[in-house]
């Protein structure tokens, strides 16, 4: 087995929030056996204790990785977000410490789109209310406020992977699709782009939100925007709880200005399945409340487990950072006969020439060099002859502005 900077059995991996077993299997198959698996997230203090000797951490949307946590994570090499959103991670703090963050940008896209489409149809028919009544022994047989999806306008806010997938599915069912995005995007099928959020809100029977959590999307749907929606329309949010102000939404439903809502994500979500869920939306008719399960299907979770564990394994074994969400992306070939040195440094002038000077002064021959930078960080990968591995590593540690350094030793030398 390839010898890396550390024996694989010494590389500690912490997997939180019940990531799918496919991730554990994949890591085991790649030779990583030192895995701690927890079904829940950890609060900040518990995480700080746990993360001290961890090399790789896998999380989902709940675990908050902030600068304080990263400060404690002295051995951390990389983060895997087993989900799409990465707003729970302070990406700049990770970058400043030379830690790449990976995610699964597409694996649960379809799951979210399918759920939203089903909810749109259910809400257009007033099913949550009728279903609740029937369970209580009632009988609400009526066509009042019940509508076909055919010909209705679905307004999609955020036309990225999920928004575009939803667009295709919805149009095939007869919805007219209107979308709003900060970027000009080509519509799928016959979908057309609205010129403003206000235009979309005023023209749609169903509005569905698919934007990431950004400073610009925080509370983007508040009292004013809800008032701008068509009377009797429906709001769906399966993006992030920070996007919609819940109080004005609850008021609009109670007053009958909106006909219903489906909300999967909330400003405050319970930390686990045993904690009570509190929300002003509880008990309101024609409101579907789901516990942040937009991406929680077995298919999506299995794919995410494979995809993100693969990215962590590749970075650990080979140094490749392709698809990292915060890091310079370098695609690397295998290095069967060479030692590979990974050097992460502040992106300031002169570091690369200093690296080359130090290596040359130590008589170390460079057989391959790969460099990528972003605004803050430079990532240079150097393949050297086997004989020089440890010596080169020591020399590189002395280079100023070094953030992190790692060696991947050639398998032939182990
Ligand atoms: N409920 C759940 O379980 C899940 C929730 N999500 C959430 O859904 C979000 C969207 O996912 P994807 O479609 O994969 O992301 P994406 O990055 O492919 O698309 C987001 C789109 O929003 C647009 N956007 C950004 N700021 C905007 C603004 N102020 N106004 C209008 N558009 C804006 C972007 O230009 C982009 O086209 C994720 O960031 C995540 O927070 C994702 C998966 C599961
Ligand atoms: O993929 C995302 O961004 C999600 O919100 C899904 O989060 P989860 O993995 O279900 O905690």
Q: Is 9 exposed, middle or buried (0-12, 13-18, 19+ CB in 10 A)?
A: exposed
Residues framing ligand 2 (Cβ under 6 A): 60-62, 83-85, 108, 292, 295-296
What local confidence, expressed as pLDDT, does residue 410 receive?
67
Which residue shows structure tokens 């329309």? 233
- The verdict on residue 390 lying in a domain is yes
Cα(83)–Cα(296) distance, integer angstroms = 10
DSSP assignment of 82-123: SSS--TTB-HHHHHHTT--EE--SSTTHHHHHHHHHHHHHHH
What local confidence, expressed as pLDDT, does residue 414 receive?
33
Q: Which CATH number is 267's domain given? A: 3.40.50.720
As beta bridge partners, residue 261 has 235, 287
**Domain around 336:** 328-409
Identify whether residues 19 and 99 lie together within a single domain: yes
Order of strands, sheet of 402-408, starting from the edge strand that comes earlier in the sequence: 366-373, 377-385, 338-346, 402-408
- The verdict on residue 143 lying in a domain is yes
Kindly give the distance from the C-alpha atom of residue 323 to the centroid of ligand 1, in angstroms, as a whole number: 17
Cα(298)–Cα(88) distance, integer angstroms = 23
- Decide if 377 contacts 327 (C-beta within 8 A): yes
**Three-class SS state of 167:** helix
Identify whether residues 64 and 113 lie together within a single domain: no
Identify whether residues 79 and 114 lie together within a single domain: no
- Decide if 51 contacts 77 (C-beta within 8 A): no
Residues 6+ apart with CB under 8 A from 342: 319, 379, 381, 404, 405, 406, 407, 408
ipTM for this prediction:
0.99
Q: Which ligand is nearest to the CA of 110?
A: 1
- The verdict on residue 414 lying in a domain is no
Q: How many domains does the chain have?
A: 3
Cα(323)–Cα(159) distance, integer angstroms = 20
Identify whether residues 282 and 186 lie together within a single domain: yes
Give the tens place of pLDDT for each residue, 89-103.
999 999 999 999 999
Q: Is the CB of 287 under 6 A from ligand 1?
A: no
Substitution candidate for ligand 1 out of 212, 243, 262, 265 with most atoms within 8 A of CB: 212
Identify whether residues 134 and 65 lie together within a single domain: no
Q: Which CATH number is 364's domain given? A: 3.30.70.260
Q: What is the DSSP letter of 232?
A: T
Identify whether residues 13 and 126 lie together within a single domain: no
Kindly give the distance from the C-alpha atom of residue 164 to the centroid of ligand 1, in angstroms, as a whole number: 10
Kindly give the distance from the C-alpha atom of residue 368 to the centroid of ligand 1, in angstroms, as a whole number: 38
Q: Would you name the residues annotated as active-site residues?
A: 240, 269, 292
Identify whether residues 266 and 404 lie together within a single domain: no
Identify whether residues 152 and 255 lie together within a single domain: yes
What local confidence, expressed as pLDDT, does residue 411 receive?
55
**Model confidence, pTM:** 0.94
Q: Which of 298, 291, 314, 295 is nearest to 20 (CA)?
A: 298
In degrees, rounded to 5, the angle at the alpha carbon of residue 153 between the alpha carbons of residues 151 and 158 is 145
Cα(231)–Cα(240) distance, integer angstroms = 24
Kindly give the distance from the C-alpha atom of residue 397 to the centroid of ligand 1, in angstroms, as a whole number: 40
What local confidence, expressed as pLDDT, does residue 272 receive?
85
End-to-end CA distance of the chain: 8
Phi and psi, residue 275, nearest 5°: -95, 145
- The verdict on residue 222 lying in a domain is yes
Identify whether residues 322 and 337 lie together within a single domain: no
Substitution candidate for ligand 2 out of 38, 62, 108 with most atoms within 8 A of CB: 108
- The verdict on residue 385 lying in a domain is yes
- The verdict on residue 258 lying in a domain is yes
**Residues of the chain where predicted confidence (pLDDT) is lower than 70:** 1-5, 389, 410-414
- The verdict on residue 75 lying in a domain is yes
Q: Is the CB of 46 under 6 A from ligand 1?
A: no
Identify whether residues 353 and 388 lie together within a single domain: yes
Q: Which atom of ligand 2 is nearest to the CA of 85?
A: 3
Identify whether residues 311 and 345 lie together within a single domain: no
What local confidence, expressed as pLDDT, does residue 271 receive?
85
Substitution candidate for ligand 2 out of 23, 39, 61 with most atoms within 8 A of CB: 61
Identify whether residues 139 and 281 lie together within a single domain: yes
Q: Which of 131, 193, 199 is nearest to 164 (CA)?
A: 193
Q: Which ligand is nearest to the CA of 60?
A: 2
As given in the structure block, the two tokens for residue 163 are 């928004």
DSSP assignment of 270-292: -SSTTSPP--TTTT-TTEEE--S
Q: Is the CB of 200 under 6 A from ligand 1?
A: no
Kindly give the distance from the C-alpha atom of residue 91 to the centroid of ligand 1, in angstroms, as a whole number: 17
Residue that terminates a domain, selected from 306, 327, 348: 327
């Amino acid at each position: 087995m390839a010898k890396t900077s550390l024996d694989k059995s010494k590389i500690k991996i912490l997997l939180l929030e019940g990531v799918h077993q496919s991730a554990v299997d994949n890591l085991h198959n790649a030779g990583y056996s030192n895995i701690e698996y927890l079904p829940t997230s950890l609060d900040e203090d518990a995480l700080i204790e746990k993360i001290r000797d961890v090399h790789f951490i896998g999380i989902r949307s709940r675990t908050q990785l902030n600068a304080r946590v990263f400060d404690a994570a002295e051995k951390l090499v990389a983060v895997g977000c087993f989900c799409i959103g990465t707003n729970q991670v302070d990406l700049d703090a990770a970058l400043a410490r030379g830690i790449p963050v990976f995610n699964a940008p597409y694996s649960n896209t379809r799951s979210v789109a399918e759920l939203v489409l089903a909810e749109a149809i259910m809400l257009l028919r007033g099913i949550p209310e009728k279903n609740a009544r029937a369970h209580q022994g009632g009988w609400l047989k009526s066509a009042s406020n019940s509508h076909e999806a055919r010909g209705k306008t679905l307004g999609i806010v955020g036309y990225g992977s999920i928004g575009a997938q939803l667009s295709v599915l919805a149009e095939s069912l007869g919805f007219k699709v209107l979308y709003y995005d900060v970027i000009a995007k080509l519509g799928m099928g016959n979908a057309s782009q609205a010129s403003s959020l206000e235009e979309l809100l005023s023209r749609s029977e169903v509005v569905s939100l698919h934007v990431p959590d950004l400073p610009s999307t925080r509370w983007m749907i508040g009292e004013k925007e809800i008032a701008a929606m068509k009377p009797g329309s429906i709001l769906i949010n399966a993006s992030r709880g920070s996007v919609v102000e819940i109080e004005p939404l609850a008021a609009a439903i109670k007053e009958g200005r909106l006909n219903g809502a489906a909300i999967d994500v909330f400003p405050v979500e319970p930390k686990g399945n045993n904690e009570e869920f509190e929300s002003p939306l509880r008990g309101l008719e024609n409101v579907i409340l789901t516990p942040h399960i937009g991406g929680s299907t077995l298919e999506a979770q299995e794919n995410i487990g494979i995809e993100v564990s693969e990215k962590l394994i590749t970075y650990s074994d080979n140094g490749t950072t392709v698809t990292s969400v915060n890091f310079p992306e370098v695609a690397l070939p295998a290095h069967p006969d060479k030692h590979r040195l990974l050097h992460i440094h502040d992106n300031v002038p002169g570091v690369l020439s200093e690296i080359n000077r130090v290596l040359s002064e130590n008589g170390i021959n460079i057989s391959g060099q790969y460099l990528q930078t972003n605004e803050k960080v430079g990532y240079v990968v150097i393949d050297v002859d086997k004989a020089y591995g440890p010596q080169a590593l020591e020399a590189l540690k002395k280079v100023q502005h070094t953030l992190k350094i790692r060696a991947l030793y050639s398998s032939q030398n182990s």
